[in-house]
């Protein structure tokens, strides 16, 4: 058994709220609160949750696009939270990100050539003459062609732009990619193309991926394992097959039952959650889900439930689970 | 189709088996946008459908298919000077509303046709309380006194499941969560008890658990109030859940329409079948198969392909598809298909889920 590629321990990210005349910190938005998980090499792990669950912040903190408040992230055994700027650069080369919005994540003034050769120059990979070929082969890898090198982002459709975003992330040959809602902004017919592309690339290049998404169908399709988050905390972790067939946590059960099935007349028994996700400034005491949970009892307010094993590699944070 | 008398029962292809006259009938609608002096595009090209009391019609399509422009045309909310209805008719309870003045349209919007949009924050006025905004509707359309209008606002907020409506009536939109705002918008749309509710992607910006609440609420309100709903969405899961009938749009045209069970169990137009096969379904981890993506992209309205507009992306396309304009043909009662080859094609059973 080899060590996981990525180990996250007790990760916390609080965003301070300043107030008063002296602009002192009066409170914190607890976006990520004590999150721990591992990702093995070659695995695609899904991170799901509703808006405000902290899933995007987890992804950004892993890459140190946000500075963690506390906690450890080890990548290939090295603690990346303690790296200085120089060491961080070589680490960035090994970890890349694909963003949600293909319209916002590409510089409108840069031709595709610049978009794709920029990371190569930054990381001093290859010579300038090699860059052109490298960029062209990246485009071919994502289903575009060399002719597209001299075009600007606005000349492409949303799906094509997302392909360019993927090519850019792949330019430095990373081992690990955080894909933050990579298909959410795309039309249904284009979404399938990009999902298939990500699957092919994952297999061809042996990529490890953290796939952040709110679409549970997409996540089940592409992921090996899934982490369910709610209000900054992990509720459940399991293999995709296990999680969708035997969701253990009441939140996961409600979340899955809320997904509309594209089959008329085949409505499942649905647990409709009442109310909205509470504010992450003052999350409920004990289990953060208890205010909307159909199974909540008084005990749920007392302690923060820990992730307990409920099956083979299947953990769930609920005091009522057996 | 000829100019039949308004409200008279339809005959021929477009008729849907029904005893009563439709509430809303859109016939051969054309909406044109003038992008510049020389360039204009037809964003809605010959769209026909009808909506009956108490039913839910879903209009499905990807961005640029013309589904939202269709709804804006019905509501008379096309951007001035740029977009206009350039052909066809929209008949609301026997009256053609395409040629009405702005004042006349204002009497219809909110009273006969209610609307809800994707983003509640952009459709609610941030400087007025939700109560004031609902009250304004009933004062305008039903001449209620201020006190009665306020009472109606509270009644509506209660109806859409907002807790403590007597207190909430005085809150501003920014003080509410996304789900609450969406409820407030529904309350506003239904305040005058319209016969038709047009919902343009009403749940797209919401989380699934909130979406489930909203779909349940809309169905409950429909049962209570009996209004017809035109539900515009790109989410086939939502369509399967709410719709009685479905209109599938592609590149400004209707390409397939029919009862929801028919459309899902037996899609006859390759585009519809392609959409069905390209969505990942729950349960896919047990039996991993590759998604059947539709190749290529939706064509721009300024450079539509000749022949069938879908043919460059269609895996069944042959030379006959590159010429002529396929028309909507009826395959079974109420099920219409725009495909030259539909009689010879077997699109196969839907993937087992």
Contacts of B309 in chain A (CB under 8 A): none
Q: Report whether pLDDT(A133) > 60.
A: yes
Task: Determine contact: B241 vs chain A, CB below 8 A.
Answer: yes
Q: In this structure, are residues A32 and A12 in contact, taking their beta carbons and an 8 Å threshold? A: yes
Give the pLDDT of residue B120.
73
Task: Determine contact: B217 vs chain A, CB below 8 A.
Answer: no
- B208–A217 C-beta distance less than 8 A: no
Residue of B nearest to A241 (CA): B285
Name the token pair of A60.
């950004």
pLDDT tier at B210, thresholds 50, 70, 90: confident
Give the pLDDT of residue B19.
55
Radius of gyration of chain B (CA): 21
Q: Report whether pLDDT(B300) > 90.
A: no
Closest by CA to A257, choosing from A265, A247, A307, is A247
* Of the partner residues A256, A258, A262, the one whose CB lies closest to the CB of residue B240: A262
Rounded mean pLDDT of B17-28?
A: 81
CA–CA separation, B157 vs A315, rounded Å?
Answer: 41
pLDDT single digits (tens) A189-200: 889 999 999 999
- A277–B278 C-beta distance less than 8 A: no
> Chain B 186-205, CB below 8 Å of chain A: which residues?
none
Nearest CA of chain A to the CA of B242: how many Å? 8
pLDDT tier at B284, thresholds 50, 70, 90: confident
Residue A184 CB neighbour total at 10 angstroms: 14
CA–CA separation, B239 vs B256, rounded Å?
Answer: 14
pLDDT single digits (tens) A200-250: 999 999 999 999 998 999 999 999 999 999 999 999 999 999 999 999 999
Beta bridge partners of A79: A74
Q: Report whether pLDDT(A15) > 50.
A: yes
- A50–B208 C-beta distance less than 8 A: yes
* Of the partner residues A159, A272, A277, the one whose CB lies closest to the CB of residue B212: A272
**Sign for the pseudo-dihedral over CA of A129, A158, B249, B351:** positive
Nearest CA of chain B to the CA of A223: how many Å? 8
Give the pLDDT of residue B121.
75
- A259–B237 C-beta distance less than 8 A: yes
pLDDT tier at A279, thresholds 50, 70, 90: confident
Give the pLDDT of residue B2.
43
Q: Where are the beta strands (DSSP E) in chain A?
A: 6-19, 24-39, 44-48, 70-75, 78-79, 95-98, 176-180, 208-213, 225-230, 233-239, 308-311, 314-316
φ, ψ for residue B333, nearest 5 deg: -50, 120
Lowest-confidence segment of A287-296, B90-99, B118-127 by average pLDDT: B118-127
pLDDT tier at B348, thresholds 50, 70, 90: low
pLDDT tier at B10, thresholds 50, 70, 90: very low
Question: Angle A188-205/A158-170 helices, nearest 10 degrees?
Answer: 20
How confident is the prediction for chain A on average, in pLDDT?
91
Give the pLDDT of residue B179.
83
Q: What ipTM was reported for this prediction?
A: 0.85
Give the pLDDT of residue B155.
94
CA–CA separation, B199 vs B218, rounded Å?
Answer: 10
Strands A44-48 and A208-213, sheet pairing: parallel
């Amino acid at each position: 058994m080899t060590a996981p590629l990525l180990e996250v321990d007790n990760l916390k990210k609080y965003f301070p709220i300043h107030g008063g005349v002296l602009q002192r910190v009066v409170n914190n938005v607890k976006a990520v609160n004590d999150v721990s998980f591992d990702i093995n090499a070659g695995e695609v792990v899904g991170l799901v949750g509703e808006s405000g669950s902290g899933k995007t912040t987890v992804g950004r903190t892993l890459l140190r696009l946000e500075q963690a408040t506390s906690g450890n992230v080890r990548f290939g055994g090295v603690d990346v939270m303690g790296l200085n700027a120089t060491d961080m650069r070589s680490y960035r080369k090994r970890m890349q990100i694909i963003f949600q919005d293909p319209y916002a994540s590409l510089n409108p003034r840069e031709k595709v050539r610049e978009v794709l050769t920029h990371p190569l120059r930054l990381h001093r990979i290859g010579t300038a003459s090699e860059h052109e070929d490298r960029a062209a082969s990246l485009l071919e890898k994502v289903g575009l062609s060399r002719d597209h090198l001299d075009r600007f982002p606005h000349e492409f459709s949303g799906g094509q732009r997302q392909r360019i975003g993927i090519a850019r992330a792949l330019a430095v040959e990373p081992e690990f990619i955080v894909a933050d809602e990579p298909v959410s902004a795309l039309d249904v017919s284009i979404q399938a193309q990009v999902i298939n592309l990500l699957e092919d690339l994952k297999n061809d290049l042996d990529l490890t991926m953290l796939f952040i998404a709110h679409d549970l169908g997409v996540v089940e399709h592409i992921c090996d394992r899934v982490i369910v988050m709610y209000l900054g905390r992990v509720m459940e972790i399991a293999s995709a097959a296990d999680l969708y067939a035997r969701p253990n946590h009441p939140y996961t059960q409600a979340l899955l039952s809320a997904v509309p099935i594209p089959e008329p007349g085949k409505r499942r028994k649905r647990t409709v959650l009442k109310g909205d996700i509470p504010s992450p400034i003052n999350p409920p005491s004990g289990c953060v889900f208890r205010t909307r949970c159909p199974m909540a009892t008084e005990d749920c307010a007392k302690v923060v439930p820990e992730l307990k094993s409920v099956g083979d590699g299947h953990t769930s944070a609920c005091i009522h689970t057996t | 189709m000829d100019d039949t008398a308004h409200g008279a029962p339809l005959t021929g292809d477009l008729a849907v088996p029904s005893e009563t006259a439709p509430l809303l009938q859109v016939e051969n609608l054309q909406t044109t946008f003038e992008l510049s002096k020389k360039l204009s595009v037809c964003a809605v090209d010959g769209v026909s459908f009808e909506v009956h009391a108490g039913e839910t019609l879903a209009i499905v399509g990807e961005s640029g298919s013309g589904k939202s422009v269709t709804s804006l045309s019905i509501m008379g909310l096309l951007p001035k000077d740029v977009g206009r209805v350039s052909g066809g008719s929209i008949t609301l309870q026997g009256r053609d509303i395409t040629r009405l003045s702005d004042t006349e349209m204002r009497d219809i919007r909110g009273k006969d046709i209610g609307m809800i949009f994707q983003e509640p924050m952009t459709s609610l006025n941030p400087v007025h309380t939700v109560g004031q905004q609902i009250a304004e509707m009933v004062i305008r359309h039903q001449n209620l006194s201020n006190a009665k209008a306020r009472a109606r606002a509270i009644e509506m907020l209660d109806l859409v499941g907002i807790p403590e409506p007597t207190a909430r009536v005085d809150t501003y939109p920014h003080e509410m969560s996304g789900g609450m705002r969406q409820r407030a918008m529904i309350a506003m749309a239904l305040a005058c008890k319209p016969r038709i509710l047009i919902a343009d992607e009403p749940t797209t910006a919401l989380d699934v658990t909130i979406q489930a609440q909203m779909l349940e609420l809309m169905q409950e309100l429909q049962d209570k109030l009996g209004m017809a709903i035109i539900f515009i969405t790109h989410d086939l899961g939502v369509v399967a859940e709410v719709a009685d009938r479905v209109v599938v749009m592609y590149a400004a045209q209707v390409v397939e329409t029919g009862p929801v069970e028919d459309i899902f169990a037996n899609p006859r137009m390759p585009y519809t079948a392609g959409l069905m096969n390209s969505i990942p379904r729950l349960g896919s981890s047990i039996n991993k198969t590759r998604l059947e993506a539709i190749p290529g992209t939706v064509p721009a309205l300024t450079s539509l392909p000749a022949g069938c507009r879908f043919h460059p992306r269609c895996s069944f396309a042959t030379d006959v598809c590159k010429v002529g304009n396929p028309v909507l043909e009826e395959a079974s009662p109420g099920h219409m298909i725009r495909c030259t080859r539909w009689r010879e094609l077997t699109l196969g059973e839907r993937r087992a889920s």
